[in-house]
Structures are given as structure tokens and as C-alpha cells.
Amino acid sequence: MKRLIYIIIVVFTFVIHSPYCIAQYRETRRLLTEVQNYINEKPDSAIVVLKSYRGLASQDEGTEALYAMLITKAEYIATDSIVSDSLIQSAVKYYNKEISLESAQASYYLGCYYFSRDKHKAAYSFQNSIDFTPDGNNNHKGRAYHALGSCHFANGSIDEGVKAYETALTLLDENENESTWQLCQDIKKALNEVNRVERGNALFAIFVILTVLVVTGLCGFIYYKVKKSNPVKTAKTKFSDGPLEQKLLEGKSTFEQTPAYKTLQEIRSLNENELHSRNDIDVKAIEETILASFNDAYHILAECESKISHQDLMLCLYGYLKITNNVAAFCLNSVPGTIRQRKNRLKSKLPESVYIILFS
């Protein structure tokens, strides 16, 4: 009898409060939608409003993720900086499960946070933003390409930066608003500056090319004789005996002693849906452990091979560890199809011998 009375009280309480909770939820969602409409023009006002509704926004994961993304966006527009990544990281974790504009924006603002701290991580986030942008959202994708290009320029990858800037120009509609128009002018100015420097160095480049051709011609016969006398010594032998493969082996030996290695071994056979159902896997801890174990190999690849992005460098290490595309996509907050495309891009970027070592 007492149990029945308790159940009746619980049900009665739920019935009384349920309409209020539903109304509160709808009101919070309506508020967040309204903030989205004026956040670009009035970011300071948006911050004040959002902070006053902080407690209500935590009532469910979706609302909390939207709140985190909006207040981070407002902070960045208002101050051109993001103090902490705690909120936007939670939004990225929630949204980066499928292609959506929210997912693309969350990754974009995480990249903005990293831009002044770690250009490789920033490039990784901006690339994610591009990959998660749905068709038809060219303005956002164009801004993400501009940000990715800025990372490439900062990392010294001029050609990659130029390609990203040129792609941004094809996607952005400079007549859309004043902000977009100004961004397009800045991109054009940067590309013109790169072309001016290249023209200024043209004569010097011709001189260097002619010098190289002369030296190559003089040394060609000697090189041919050496190659004929050592037919088995290929590029792969060079790298297998060199510092890169040695550091990879040392990194693997260190990594195999860590809990992160055991976690990867445990989940390597899971499919995409099974992976996303596992809330106990700390992807960030896995990445940090890999970076710590393969620190030397990572920097050799970053500095000596092709100056590729942090995201692609991590994919190289996952490839060396024989991680499946599903698991690599899960750990990199991406999708398996994108992982396959990036491997194909890496095949054209990396020397064949290095690619074989990493992805054989």
C-alpha cells in the first residue's frame, strides 16, 4: 500500500511539473534561436542574454551544445579571441557525429580558439569544419577555407595556403554583406602579395634553375654509375635505415605500454555505429598519448617531409599503428569516407617510401 501511494505521488508530481518543463524547454530554444538572428550585429548583447540563461540551457545535451556554440561565437565576434575551449569542446563532441551546419560551426570556433595557440590543431579543426559543412552553405565553407589557408601560411606551407585562399574566393559571395566583401578584399590582397614576391624572385629562380641544370649535367654520369653499382639501394632502404623509421619503431614500443594502446586494440573491430555508442572512450587522451609516444617521429614528418597539417600527421600515425578507417575517423572526429580521401591525398604528398612505411 505504501509503495502504491509513493508511485501515485511521483506520477502526480510529474504530471504537475511536466507542462512547466516542456514550456521552459521551448522558451529556452526560442531564445537561443532569437539570439542567432542578431549575434553577428550585437555580440555584446547576445553574451549578456546568453549568460542570464546559462542554467536553463543545461536541461538537455542538445540545448547545452547550442548554447556553448553560440556564446563562444559571440565572444569571438565581440573580442576577436576565445579565452577557454571547455564550452566549445563540449559542442564539438556533441555535434561531430554527422554533417550539419552546427557541427561545422562548432569545429570552426574550436579552430579559432587554437589559432593563436597551435596552428596544427587549428588547421585540423578548420578542415573538420569544411568536411562537416552541408551542401549549400558556401559562405561558411568559404570562411573556413580562409582560416585554413591562414594556418597553412603561418606553418610555412605557401602553396597549400594559396590553394585554400583561392577556394575561399570561389565560395564567398563578396556582395552578400560588408563583412564578406572586406574578407574577399583581404584574401585578394594576400594573393597579390604572394604573386608579387614570386615575380620579384623570378630572375633569381631562373638563375638557380640554370645552375642546378649545369650541376646536374656534370654529375649525371657519376650518379648513373653509382645507381648501376647499387641497384638494390632504393628510397625505401634509405628511410628504413634512417631516423624516421627508427623513431616510429621507438614510438610504437613506448605506445604499446600505455592504456591508450589497449583501448585501440579493444575497439579496432567495432563499426562506426558501435564506436559512437561508446561514451567511455577518451579520444583526447588517446591523441595526447600518441603525440607523447611518437613526438620525435611526428616532428620529423612535420618538418622534413611535406609540411602537412596536424590532422594528416595524426592520420599517418594511426596508419602506422594499423588502425582501421572507422576507428581513425572516430578518433579524429571525422567520417570514414573522409579518412579514405585523406589517405589518397597523402599518397600524392608523401614520398612513396615514406607512404609505404606508414600505410603498408
Q: For position 359, what pLDDT does the model report? A: 85
Q: For position 28, what pLDDT does the model report? A: 67
Please report whether residue 258 resides in a domain: yes
CA angle, corner 142, sides to 139 and 143, nearest 5? 90
**Counted domains in the chain:** 4
Q: Take residue 239 and report the three cell numbers written for it.
A: 628511410
Please report whether residue 122 resides in a domain: no
Please report whether residue 130 resides in a domain: no
Tell me: the pLDDT tens digits for 277-292?
888 888 899 999 999 9
Backbone angles phi, psi at 26, to 5 degrees: -65, -40
Residues 221 and 249 reside in one and the same domain: no
Residues 273 and 220 reside in one and the same domain: no
User: What are the average pLDDT values for consecutive 10-residue runs of the chain, which has 360 residues?
Assistant: 48 41 62 77 82 67 82 85 85 86 89 89 91 89 92 89 91 83 87 78 60 59 51 40 82 92 88 84 90 89 72 89 88 85 83 85
Distance CA 22, CA 20 (A): 6
CA angle, corner 305, sides to 302 and 306, nearest 5? 80
Rounded to 10 deg, the angle between the 2-38 and 61-79 helix axes is: 30
Residues 211 and 112 reside in one and the same domain: no
Residues 326 and 348 reside in one and the same domain: yes
Residues 96 and 145 reside in one and the same domain: no
Distance CA 202, CA 149 (A): 24
Please report whether residue 147 resides in a domain: yes
Q: Look at the pTM and tell me if it is higher than 0.85.
A: no
Helix ranges restricted to H, the chain: 2-38, 43-52, 61-79, 86-95, 101-115, 119-131, 138-154, 158-171, 178-200, 202-229, 235-241, 243-255, 259-267, 272-276, 283-293, 295-300, 310-320, 325-331, 336-349, 352-359
Q: For position 55, what pLDDT does the model report? A: 63
Q: Take residue 263 and report the three cell numbers written for it.
A: 583501448
Q: For position 287, what pLDDT does the model report? A: 92
Distance CA 324, CA 318 (A): 8
Residues 82 and 188 reside in one and the same domain: no
Which candidate, 183, 179, 126, places its Cα nearest to that of 149? 126
Q: For position 68, what pLDDT does the model report? A: 83
Residues 237 and 221 reside in one and the same domain: no
Q: Take residue 298 and report the three cell numbers written for it.
A: 611526428
Q: For position 333, what pLDDT does the model report? A: 85
Residue 192: alpha-carbon gap to chain centroid: 27
Which candidate, 116, 287, 49, 241, places its Cα nearest to that of 298? 287
Residues 104 and 47 reside in one and the same domain: yes
Residues 354 and 239 reside in one and the same domain: yes
Please report whether residue 127 resides in a domain: no
Q: For position 124, what pLDDT does the model report? A: 92
Q: For position 20, what pLDDT does the model report? A: 41
Residues 262 and 347 reside in one and the same domain: yes
Which residues have CB under 8 Å from 96's CB, separation 6+?
103, 106, 107, 128, 132, 333
Distance CA 109, CA 122 (A): 9
Of the residues 183, 200, 217, the one at which a domain ends? 200
Residues 221 and 282 reside in one and the same domain: no
Q: Take residue 17 and report the three cell numbers written for it.
A: 511539473
Q: Take residue 265 and report the three cell numbers written for it.
A: 586494440
Residues 266 and 355 reside in one and the same domain: yes
Please report whether residue 59 resides in a domain: yes
Q: For position 344, what pLDDT does the model report? A: 85
Tell me: the pLDDT tens digits for 76-128?
888 888 888 888 898 898 888 788 888 898 899 999 999 988 989 999 999 99
Domain membership of residue 180 as a residue range: 135-200
Region of 322 on the Ramachandran plot (φ > 0 left; ψ -120 to 50 alpha; else beta): left
Average pLDDT, the chain: 79
